[in-house]
């Protein structure tokens, strides 16, 4: 009888240790995961480095398992225009002047969108360039989902983030 009780207590102790280790591992993962807010307001044709870095930083954070919101506002909304992102190589020496850097930026943004990254755009800023919710498919690259936003959403989304980058 003592052996049975001892065995049960030992089993409960081992099980408890395993559960604690599992809970600690889950907590460590959660503590390492951050939420990022990446804000692009720079005109990609004037400051292509800022535009590319914003895309590559957002993509990398998402690949590392973080939650990422990419918010394009002001002149930064232009990065989603087909004619702009597909021609970044014409305004920057990065990538050796070949279209590879343009393709890399476009593919990274599309992959970001496809893999669960959130893309917000300033609806008012896009209106400046003649783009709206009715005609955006004609003008923008084919990201999975766009959240049409205003300053209210800018504040809401950025205040949720652990880390904010602004380009």
**Measured CA angle at 72 (ends 36, 81), to 5 deg:** 135
Judged by DSSP in three states, 15 sits in helix
pTM of the model as a whole? 0.81
Same domain, 17 and 79: no
Is 102 within 8 Å of 85 (Cβ atoms)? yes
Predicted local confidence at residue 110, as pLDDT: 98
Q: Which domain holds residue 148?
A: 33-166
pLDDT in tens, 57-110: 999 999 999 999 999 999 999 999 999 999 999 999 998 889 999 999 999 999
Instruction: Categorize the per-residue pLDDT at 8 as very low, low, confident or very high, splitting at 50, 70 and 90.
Output: low
Same domain, 6 and 84: no
The CATH number linked to 76 is 3.40.1260.10
Asked whether residue 70 falls in the same domain as residue 146, the answer is yes
Residues 140, 82 contacting (CB under 8 angstroms): yes
CB 82 within 8 A of CB 90: no
| Pair (118, 141) in one structural domain | yes
Examine the domain organization and report whether 115 and 43 are in the same domain: yes
Task: Specify the number of domains making up the chain.
Answer: 2
């Amino acid at each position: 009888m003592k052996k049975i009780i001892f065995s049960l207590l030992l089993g409960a102790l081992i099980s408890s240790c395993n559960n604690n280790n599992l809970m600690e591992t889950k907590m460590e993962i959660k503590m390492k995961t951050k939420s990022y807010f990446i804000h692009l307001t720079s005109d990609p044709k004037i400051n292509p480095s800022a535009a590319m870095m914003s895309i590559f930083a957002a993509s990398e954070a998402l690949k590392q398992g973080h939650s990422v919101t990419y918010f394009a506002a002001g002149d930064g909304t232009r990065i989603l225009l087909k004619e702009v992102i597909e021609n970044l190589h014409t305004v920057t020496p990065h990538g050796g002047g070949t279209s590879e850097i343009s393709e890399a930026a476009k593919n990274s943004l599309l992959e970001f969108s496809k893999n669960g990254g959130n893309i917000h755009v300033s609806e008012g800023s896009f209106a400046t360039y003649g783009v709206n919710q009715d005609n955006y498919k004609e003008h923008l690259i084919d990201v999975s989902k766009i959240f049409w936003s205003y300053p209210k959403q800018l504040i809401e989304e950025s205040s949720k983030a652990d880390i904010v980058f602004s380009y």
